[in-house]
Amino acid sequence: MKRRTFIHLLNTGAAVSLIAKPSLAGWLQSAPQAKRWQEELGYHTIQSVTFGDVRLQYPRLVGKNARLDIHGYGIRNEFCMITTDQGAKGWASLRGGRGHAHRLVPELVGKKLSAVFQVSIGITDDKYLPFDMALHDLAGVVLNKPVYALLGRDKPYITKYYSGMIYFDDLEPAHAPGGIDKILNECRYDYDLGYRQFKLKIGRGNRWMSQTAGLARDIEVTKQVAAAFPDCEILVDGNNGFTVNEFIAYLKGVQDIPLFWIEEPFHETVEDYRKLRDWMNKANVKSLLADGEADPDPALLDELMELKLMDVHLTDIEGLGFTNWRKLMPKLIRYDVQASPHAWGSLLKSYYTAHLAGGLGNTVTIEGVTSTSDDVDLSKYRIADGKLIPPDAPGFGMALLA
């Protein structure tokens, strides 16, 4: 319900304003170019919409976090493929269930691509949200442009890229836990892939250990990862597993270890975030406060941003939708808040985010979900100097292999 409200507010234009800042220099195309591109989309009529799924495998078992049990070895990702009468094909993750999307197919088939997608904004009606990603991919294919170029950048903004796969794997397997050495080995694996940021899940005392023992383990994991990888930045994610006082105890425990950001340490309230921010200011802790992933409440997030109690907005790239993220970004800049859309679960979401960040900027880092696939060519994206570099191939630059 809250996410639906969020989308409604964006689509009615509430509290959204354009700000003339460099990171939004390409938010709207020049009028002549946008007109040319829009006319080109008008030569294509949507002929069919089909559905399938692709398998994405993680390089290791991903364990628990503060709230949820073992996350497994990967996911099966539903997608839709949209084909035009000119033979152009665009595909991407399907937002929401396939059943709902099937019922909407008649809303697309037979329509001009230009009627359902505008280069300057994205989809023309939020009823097309299940196909939002695929329509962006299709428009890029038709125009022979990467998605970030549709947002206004010939060369993309390049953004930091963190490993989002450091869970409570020290607790696995249950019959013979690997301990902190297992976490360090996972960080080494991710470091060798090119990551220079690690997001550590914390909050073991919420469900899996006693509060005292869990807090001690959270602190020790943080200290050991920071010591083993001094050239890397540490992010922490509590998945709402702490009280504000428990989290302040964690910050006291890690002492002077710099944390790039603090994500959802507890369920957000103005009172608790003000208490945390006041403590951080007195202790000279400079970490960014990141929130908005779990059940985002737009009114509360607005209040936190207005009060300077939130620095990074995390709503999921697919959950909110690519078009709605395009609408949200100027509002974040007005608040002096950066973006980092939640991408956990699917590497495809990480790559979609690379185009959003590449075209609009104002993105502090991108969540990485290291994966391989026999179904999708993921090879065009690169990690260099701890940053994710999207390809200049049309659309999102990923081809189905089957």
User: With contact defined as beta carbons under 8 Å apart, do 335 and 110 qualify?
Assistant: no
Which pLDDT score is estimated for 61?
97
What sign does the CA torsion over 312, 316, 319, 325 have?
positive
10-residue mean pLDDT profile of the chain (402 residues): values are: 51 38 47 89 98 97 97 97 98 93 96 97 96 98 98 96 98 96 98 98 98 98 98 98 98 97 97 98 97 91 97 96 97 97 98 98 98 98 97 98 83
Looking at domain 159-400, does it have CATH number 3.20.20.120?
yes
Written in H, E and C, the secondary structure of 12-42 is: CCCCCCCCCCHHHCCCCCCHHHHHHHHHHHC
Which strand (E) or helix (H) includes residue 353?
helix 347-360
Which pLDDT score is estimated for 19?
30
- Token output for 395: 């659309």
- Token output for 280: 């951080």
Residue boundaries of the structural domains of the chain: 159-400
226/239 Cα distance (integer angstroms): 21
Which pLDDT score is estimated for 33?
85
Which pLDDT score is estimated for 250?
98
Whole-model pTM: value is 0.93
How far CA 7 is from CA of 15, 85, 98, 208, in Å, comes to: 12, 31, 20, 35
Give the residues across from 372 on adjacent strands.
57
